[in-house]
Amino acid sequence: MQSFPDSLADLKSQGHTLIGCFPLYPPLELLHSFGLSPVVLWGLRQDITHLTRSDRHLQPYACGVARSLSEFVLSRGRELLDAIFMYNACDTLRNLPEILESSLDRHGASIPLFRLHIPAVPLSRPFASDYLNERIRDLIGELEKFTGRSFSAQTFLNSTELYNRQRRLSRDLERLAETGRIRFADCSDILLSAGRMSLDDHISILERTVREFNGRAPGHQGVRIMLSGILPPPVALLDAIERTGLTVVANDIAALRRSYDYLPAASADPGAYYRDLYRNHYPCTTILPSADSRLETIMQTVRESGVQGFIFVGEKFCEYEYFEIPAVKRMIEAEGVRTLELEIGMDDALNLDAYQTRIEAFAEMLCHETRGSRRDNDAV
Ligand code: SF4
């Protein structure tokens, strides 16, 4: 597969105006409606081989997502990105704009930067939704100046419909993995590739894959597990999960399910659209007003999907996720679901053997227990 920087270089050579968006849930539809091609800078870890520039500005105990995207922006941003978009997703990301901006300025490599502040209080409060409306209006004004285009309600509506199409197809693809028709590792790879290509190309790939695998018979179903975390684990670990007899039947990954689970109503009004999107978003630790409903949502998925094992894929130093894990663990273990905690840091991508061993041991225990409970049922 092409590296992330090479994919962006290809897009640029095809005439795309690229806006690099910091995770997690930027207003892609609005950026797209101005003729920009937004790419979310998720999981650059496999393509970032050193952190020379980033380490001058960020402490080593910042998460790998922030460190690798900072390195990418500082070293290749000027060459590959036409603009950058950031919002206050988490404490780590909210502090990056000034740091990156001053470093880029100092090296004569400035990149136009757009920001949005999303209220950290429930959008059901009138002042919060008015505030978001104003911030969206400001952003529209800045985008008009940058692109030389006027905002078009019809174009925005078209963009919201396209992104909803992508979300629907992403959910369809995930369901194919749940029934064993496609490997979860392949499904995850296709879903994450959205950040490397144009929206139209990604929709075409999703359509083709869903059509192809829909016709297949359900695959072998192993022990049913759910994954949770910011990013899916590296491919080698997904392979280990499936090789050892586990089937990923549900996920609560921010770059996957959390990103496309909720389908906002298509709308020509950006204020109304983003109020709906951020207010009803799949609960995420970084969307503070939604955090309270996470336990209930996870529990519901665990029950509905018949989950027997739960793997936390911790992003090292992501305090948002780590504050929550003990509560989730207590809750689902009380339900009789086994749990495994993995912690993946910047330096672990090339040293995955220990994680594979832990997955193998977890799978062995789960398979043994499942065989035991089948024998007990047969005896009754
Ligand atoms: S991994 Fe956590 S701390 Fe890092 S950018 Fe994502 S939400 Fe923020």
Tens digits of residue pLDDT in 115-128 = 999 999 999 888 99
* pLDDT tens-digit readout, 279-294: 999 999 999 888 889 9
Closest-lying ligand 1 atom to the alpha carbon of residue 231: 1
**Residue 138 within any structural domain of the chain:** yes
What is the number of other CB atoms lying within 10 angstroms of the CB of residue 251?
A: 27
* 377 pLDDT higher than 70: no
What is the pLDDT averaged over residues 328-333? 95
Radius of gyration from C-alpha coordinates of the chain: 21
Coil vs helix vs strand at 119: coil
With a pLDDT cut of 70, the percent of the chain lying above it is 98
* Ligand 1 pocket mutation pick from 88, 96, 286 by most atoms within 8 angstroms of CB: 286
Q: Across residues 296-311, what is the average pLDDT?
A: 96
Mutate to test the pocket of ligand 1, among 86, 92, 312 (most ligand atoms within 8 A of CB): 92
Residue 175: count of CB within 10 angstroms of its CB? 15
The model's confidence at residue 380, banded by pLDDT at 50, 70 and 90, is: low
Helix and strand element counts for the chain (H, E): 16, 8
Protein residue with least CA distance to atom 8, ligand 1: 90
Residue 222 domain-assigned (yes or no): no
Domain membership of residue 321 (yes or no) is no
Cα–Cα distance for residue pair 120/129, rounded to 1 Å: 11
Instruction: Evaluate: CB of 230 within 6 angstroms of ligand 1.
Output: yes
How many structural domains does the chain have? 1
- Once rounded to an integer, what is the mean pLDDT over residues 315-330? 91
Q: Is there a domain that residue 312 lies in?
A: no
pLDDT, tens digit, for every residue of 185-198?
A: 999 999 999 988 99
Q: Tell me whether residue 15 is exposed, middle or buried, using C-beta atoms within 10 angstroms of its C-beta: 0 to 12, 13 to 18, 19 or more.
A: exposed
Average pLDDT, stretch 221-228? 93
Nearest atom, ligand 1, residue 285 CA:
7
Whether 192 maps to a domain, the answer reads no
Phi, psi of 217 (to 5 degrees): -75, 150
Ligand 1 center–CA 64 separation, angstroms = 8
The answer to whether residue 291 is domain-embedded is: no
pLDDT at residue 155, as a whole number: 97
Which protein residue has the closest C-alpha to ligand 1 atom 3?
Answer: 318
Instruction: Note whether 5 and 72 are within 8 A (CB).
Output: yes
pLDDT band at residue 346 under the 50/70/90 scheme: confident
Centroid of ligand 1 to alpha carbon of 203 (angstroms): 27
Q: How confident is the model at residue 220 (pLDDT cuts 50, 70, 90)?
A: confident
The confidence band for 378, taking pLDDT boundaries of 50, 70 and 90, is low
Q: Tens digits of per-residue pLDDT, 83-105?
A: 999 999 998 888 898 899 999 99
Instruction: Give the residue among 216, 222, 213 at the shortest CA–CA distance from 242.
Output: 222
CATH number, domain at 120? 3.40.50.11890
Is residue 65 lining ligand 1, measured as CB closer than 6 Å? yes
Whether 89 maps to a domain, the answer reads yes
Q: Which two tokens stand for residue 25?
A: 């849930």
Domain contains 262: no
Query: What's the 370 CA to ligand 1 centre distance in angstroms?
Result: 35
Q: Does residue 19 have its Cβ closer than 6 Å to ligand 1?
A: no
pLDDT of residue 379: 63
Helix intervals (H) in 50-95: 64-80, 91-94
- Provide the residue range defining the domain that includes 95: 4-143
d(CA 366, CA 356): 15
**For residue 231, what are the CA distances in angstroms to 24, 164, 192, 196, 313?**
11, 21, 9, 16, 7
pLDDT computed for residue 238 by the predictor: 95
